[in-house]
């Protein structure tokens, strides 16, 4: 049997990849990066790097970067809440997760954006948990009904309560890391168990060009020491905060990510790091950051290729849209992004559910995107050889009235070779009209309501619920935040 | 007069071309030759800026041209401003603005765009940079007797800090003294209304229009 070829797309020649890496290393050595965080600068000084305390500029030798690369694991095993199901973040594995950090919800009824509350976060989390093709959960939505100071820990709290999947999250304040780590350790039954079976990835975004803020550098250090995987989210805007050419932006992206990777490795050798990003082809008219632009996706695919060349796990913000409602644009941008990310073999693909430049989440879009991800996975499975011969035996004794519907061969293979449509319309016109002329958004809204009422929340055992609640309440109290919202 | 017109045309052209160096050189020549400075601005540089606005509206110019032109305008004003003030002319300041990016956010591209457009349009801009604490905005506004405070945020997470500045203004009994204009990628009109900001600029040009309206409203009770 001939194995199925895994379809794969690469945008850069090997020479190009090496040129980008070479220029990035030169950039780090000659210009360096700005590191606001004193502890991170101390790590660089201890590693013998020239650090200018006045300007906070750190120069990194290629040797240091290469050492750091050598000690970074090429893949990471993530585990679900139960600690039993394993997910490889590495190789050409692809895992979709909802785009993280939205502050608004596209209201299911009014189809207008509004701020999000606890109930929205819970619904989105529960639906993500129910989506077969969305392997990871993310703290995708920030609820406005808790004090801003604990917004980071609160979204993780809700995620751990209502989802069984590995999480992608991050801090909004330095002090946020501790309660968040406590919650993760509580789920695992201790910090050692958490080290062995990572449950959450922490995102950390450098500020373009070539800056690490105090908060993000601290997140890298704290995560590395706790063996929590850090996802480096370089987010350059072409022609605004980075060179305008795709190649130029790639050099900056690579340099920023490599400097973050070094901070992680200096904090703890062997710390898990993911080479990720959220760059955008800056819109020179609107001043916006289109995530659905083809050039944005090209930068994503190209830096992921560079990450793979460096033998690192990869991540990108793809499979999301800048549209404001469920429309043709939201579908084509998400479809293109998810498929291209899959073809590029990007390990963690953040974006599903998201609209309006990473600012808004939608329950309906999440479910539509689940279908898109399913199609992308089908594509990755490729064209397999199921039989030997492929077909000759099916034509034995062929007659003019031969059909395949009743062949055992059809029955054996049709569910494996072909995916059923879920929300996608494959009705005849009359059937579609008879069913009420519904758009895919209408059908998704119905499915969201049905899932939320039919599928009970996937809560952990009551003792763990109580423990998570008490960590969350302690965090809120110590920040002077009175009472947390009641859970639905 | 022929000569003057040619001179004004070169000033306008420097702004249209986004050539900060030429704009400043021409401004220095104007000082050396003791030209009528308000006329130099009104008939030389401002028509250039207006032409840039037209080119933008026509879809000919994009942000790189727009911001380069703003920088050229700013370069000319930096040369002419002190002399104008010294001469006791009314000057061209349309108002004093304190601007910065909210605490926790060190992304300042959007804020820089707005700050340069505001200066190019004759506002006196005090740029506090990025990662600015709520009280620092207010202290700076008090110290510089600002008319407006402009708050920028790129991240959805730091945008929440804009509310904090307005809360602190209220707590310090200064809310009525300053107009507050908010902006940034995740900021919407609804958000501005919710936190009680006086205005919202959806882009750098809108911010200028908003600032002008707010500053004018503030001067004429």
Give the whole-angstrom CA distance, residue B157 versus residue B137: 19
To which H or E segment does residue A436 belong?
none
User: What pTM did the predictor assign?
Assistant: 0.88
Residue B156: φ, ψ to 5°: -60, -30
How much is the pLDDT for A198? 98
Q: State the Rg of chain A over Cα.
A: 23
Give me the residues paired with residue A224 across strands. none
Q: Indicate whether this complex's ipTM tops 0.85.
A: no
Cβ contacts of B191 within 8 Å, gap of 6 or more: B159, B162, B182, B200
Whether residue B2 is predicted with pLDDT greater than 90 in this model: the reply is: no
Q: A356: which 2 tokens?
A: 């309006």
Looking only at Cα atoms, what is the longest distance across chain A?
A: 86
Give, in order, the Cα–Cα distances in Å from B52 to each of A263, A282, B42, B71, B120: 45, 21, 15, 12, 12
Asked if the Cβ–Cβ distance from B156 to A142 is below 8 Å, we say: yes
- pLDDT for position A467: 98
Q: What is the DSSP letter of A169?
A: E
The chain B residue lying nearest A171, using CA atoms, is: B157
Domain at B93-217: CATH code: 3.40.50.280
Range in A70-79, A162-171, A413-422 with the lowest mean pLDDT: A413-422
Q: Which of A147, A207, A280, A286 to mutate to test the interface with B (most CBs of B within 10 A)?
A: A207
Beta-carbon contacts of A42 under 8 Å, excluding residues fewer than 6 positions away, are: none
The answer to whether residue A107 neighbours chain B at the CB level (below 8 Å) is no
A284 touches chain B (CB under 8 A): yes
Pick from A263-267, A341-345, B38-42, B135-139: least confident: B38-42
More confident residue, A115 or A74: A74
Asked if the domains B4-91 and B93-217 are classified in one and the same CATH topology, the answer is no
What mean pLDDT, rounded, does chain A reach?
96
Q: Are A172 and B157 in contact (CB under 8 A)?
A: yes
Region of A311 please: left (phi>0), alpha (psi -120 to 50) or beta. Answer: left
pLDDT higher for B58 or B106? B58
Q: A56 is written with which tokens?
A: 């906070």
The predicted-structure confidence for B65-84, as pLDDT tens digits, reads as follows: 988 998 898 899 889 888 87
Residues 179-238 of A with CB under 8 A from B: 207-208, 211, 213, 215, 237
pLDDT band (50, 70, 90) for residue B90? low
- Interface size between A and B, measured as CB pairs under 8 A: 62
What distance in Å separates residue B159's CA from the closest CA in chain A? 10
Cα dihedral A44, A47, A48, A49 sign: negative
Is A373 at the interface with chain B, CB within 8 A? no
A49 pLDDT tier (thresholds 50, 70, 90): very high
A210 torsion bin: left (phi>0), alpha (psi -120 to 50), beta (else): left
* Cα–Cα separations (whole angstroms), residue B197 to A115, A190, A225, B177: 17, 46, 42, 13
- State mean pLDDT over B155-183: 90
Q: Could you give the count of Cα atoms lying within 13 Å of B33 in the half-sphere of its Cβ?
A: 13
What residue of A is the nearest CA neighbor of B186?
A: A359
Average pLDDT over residues A161-187: 97
pLDDT at B220 over 50: no
Interface test with A, best of B185, B189, B206 (most A CBs within 10 A): B185
Stretch B138-153: mean pLDDT: 93
Cα–Cα distance between A301 and A111 in angstroms, integer?
32
Give the start-to-end residue ranges of the domains of chain B: 4-91, 93-217
- Among the ranges given (A474-483, B7-16, B89-98, B151-160), the one the predictor scored with the smallest mean pLDDT: B89-98
Q: What is the mean pLDDT of chain B?
A: 86
Q: Domain spanning B4-91: which CATH class is it, in words? A: mainly alpha
**Tens of pLDDT along A25-40?**
999 999 999 999 999 9
- A211 beta partners: A34, A207
The DSSP line for A375-386 is HHHHHHH-----
Is omega for the bond preceding A209 within 30 degrees of 0, making it cis? yes
Tell me how far the alpha carbon of residue B107 is from its chain's centroid.
Answer: 18
Contacts of A241 in chain B (CB under 8 A): 107, 109
Give me the pLDDT at residue B219, please: 53
Q: Are A390 and A346 in contact (CB under 8 A)?
A: no
**Contact between chains at B157 and A101 (C-beta distance less than 8 A):** yes
- Does residue B57 or residue B109 have the better pLDDT? B57
In Å, how far is B176's CA from the nearest CA of chain A? 25
* φ/ψ (deg, to 5) at A444: -65, -40
Of chain A, the percentage scoring pLDDT greater than 70 comes to: 100
Q: How many whole angstroms separate alpha carbon A299 and alpha carbon A303?
A: 6
CA of A173: which chain B residue's CA is closest? B104
CA pair distance A326, A330, nearest whole angstrom: 6
**What's the confidence (pLDDT) of residue B221?**
37
Contacts of A207 in chain B (CB under 8 A): 106-107
Residues from chain B that touch A285, judged by Cβ atoms under 8 A, are 59, 62-63
Sequence-distant (≥ 6) Cβ neighbours of residue B61 within 8 angstroms? B52, B55, B69
Helices (H), chain B: 2-17, 20-32, 37-39, 46-57, 63-86, 109-120, 134-143, 156-159, 161-171, 189-195, 204-219
Chain B residue with minimum CA distance to A286: B203
Residue B92: predicted pLDDT? 59
Q: What average pLDDT does the segment A123-137 reach?
A: 98
In this prediction, residue A18 carries a pLDDT of: 98
Q: Which two tokens stand for residue B210?
A: 């908003």
Neighbours of A406 (CB within 10 A): 7
In chain A, DSSP finds a helix count (H) and a strand count (E) of 16, 18
pLDDT greater than 90 at residue A243: yes
Give contacts of B164 with chain A, Cβ < 8 Å.
148
Q: What pLDDT sits at residue B89?
A: 58
Nearest beta carbon to residue A142 from set B62, B131, B157: B157
A322 touches chain B (CB under 8 A): no
b/e burial code for range A335-374 (CB count within 10 A of at least 16 → b): bbbbbbbbbbbbbbbbbbbbbbbbbbbbbbbbbbbbbbbb
**For residues A141 and B110, which has the higher predicted lDDT (pLDDT)?**
A141
Q: Is B180 in the A-facing interface, judged by CB distances under 8 Å?
A: no
């Amino acid at each position: 049997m001939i194995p199925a070829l895994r379809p794969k797309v690469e945008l850069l020649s090997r020479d190009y990849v090496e040129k980008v890496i070479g220029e990035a290393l030169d950039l780090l050595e000659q210009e360096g990066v700005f590191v606001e965080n004193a502890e991170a600068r101390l790590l660089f000084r201890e590693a013998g790097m020239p650090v200018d305390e006045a300007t906070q500029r750190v120069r990194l030798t290629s040797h240091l970067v290469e050492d750091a690369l050598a000690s970074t694991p090429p893949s990471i095993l993530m585990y679900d809440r139960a600690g039993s199901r394993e997910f490889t973040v590495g190789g050409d594995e692809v895992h979709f997760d909802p785009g993280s950090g939205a502050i608004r919800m596209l209201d299911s009824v009014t189809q207008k954006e509004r701020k999000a509350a606890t109930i929205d976060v819970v619904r989105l989390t529960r639906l993500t948990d129910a989506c077969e093709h969305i392997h990871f959960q993310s703290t995708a939505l920030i609820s406005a009904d808790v004090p801003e100071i604990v917004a980071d820990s609160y979204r993780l709290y809700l995620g751990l309560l209502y989802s069984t999947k590995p999480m992608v999250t991050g801090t909004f304040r330095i002090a946020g890391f501790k309660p968040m780590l406590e919650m993760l350790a509580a789920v695992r039954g201790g910090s050692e168990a958490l080290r062995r079976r990572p449950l959450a990835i922490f995102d950390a975004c450098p500020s373009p060009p070539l800056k690490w803020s105090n908060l993000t550098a601290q997140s890298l250090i704290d995560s590395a020491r706790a063996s929590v995987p850090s996802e480096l989210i370089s987010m350059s805007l072409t022609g605004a905060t980075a060179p305008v050419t795709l190649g130029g932006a790639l050099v900056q992206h690579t340099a920023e990510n490599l400097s973050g990777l070094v901070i992680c490795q200096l904090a703890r050798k062997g710390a898990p790091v993911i080479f990720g990003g959220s760059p955008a082809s800056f819109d020179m008219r609107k001043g916006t950051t289109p995530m659905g632009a083809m050039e944005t996706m090209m930068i994503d695919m190209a830096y992921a290729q560079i990450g793979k060349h460096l033998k690192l796990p990869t991540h990108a913000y793809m499979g999301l849209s800048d549209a404001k409602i469920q429309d043709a644009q939201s579908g084509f941008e998400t479809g293109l992004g998810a498929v291209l990310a899959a073809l590029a073999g990007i390990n963690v693909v953040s974006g599903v559910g998201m609209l309006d430049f990473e600012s808004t989440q939608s329950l309906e879009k999440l479910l539509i995107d689940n279908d898109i991800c399913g199609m992308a996975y089908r594509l990755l499975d490729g064209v397999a050889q199921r039989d030997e011969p492929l077909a000759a035996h099916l034509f034995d004794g062929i007659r003019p009235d031969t059909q395949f519907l009743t062949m055992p061969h059809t029955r054996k293979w049709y569910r494996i070779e072909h995916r059923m449509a879920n929300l996608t319309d494959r009705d005849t016109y009359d059937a579609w009209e008879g069913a009420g002329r519904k758009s895919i958004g209408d059908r998704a809204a119905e499915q969201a309501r049905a899932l939320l009422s039919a599928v009970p929340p996937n809560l952990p055992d009551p003792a763990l619920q109580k423990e998570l609640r008490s960590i969350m309440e302690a965090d809120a109290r110590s920040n002077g935040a009175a009472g947390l919202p009641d859970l639905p | 007069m022929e000569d003057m017109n040619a001179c004004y045309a070169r000033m306008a052209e420097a702004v249209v071309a986004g050539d900060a160096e030429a704009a400043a050189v021409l401004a220095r020549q104007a000082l050396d030759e003791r030209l009528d400075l308000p006329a130099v601005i009104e008939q030389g540089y401002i028509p250039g800026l207006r032409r840039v606005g037209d080119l933008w509206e026509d879809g000919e110019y994009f942000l790189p041209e727009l911001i380069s032109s703003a920088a050229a305008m700013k370069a000319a004003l930096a040369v002419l401003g002190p002399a104008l003030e010294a001469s006791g002319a009314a000057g061209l300041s349309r108002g004093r603005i304190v601007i910065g990016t909210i605490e926790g956010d060190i992304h300042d591209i959007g804020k820089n765009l707005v700050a340069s457009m505001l200066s190019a349009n004759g506002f006196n801009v005090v740029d506090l940079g990025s990662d600015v604490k709520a009280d620092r905005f207010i202290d700076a506004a008090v110290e510089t007797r600002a008319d407006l405070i402009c708050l920028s945020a790129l991240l959805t997470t730091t945008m929440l800090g804009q509310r904090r500045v307005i809360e602190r203004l209220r707590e310090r009994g200064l809310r009525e003294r300053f107009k507050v204009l908010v902006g940034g990628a995740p900021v919407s009109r609804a958000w501005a209304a919710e936190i009680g900001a006086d205005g919202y600029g959806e882009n750098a040009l809108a911010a200028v229009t908003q600032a002008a309206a707010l500053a004018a409203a503030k001067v004429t009770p």
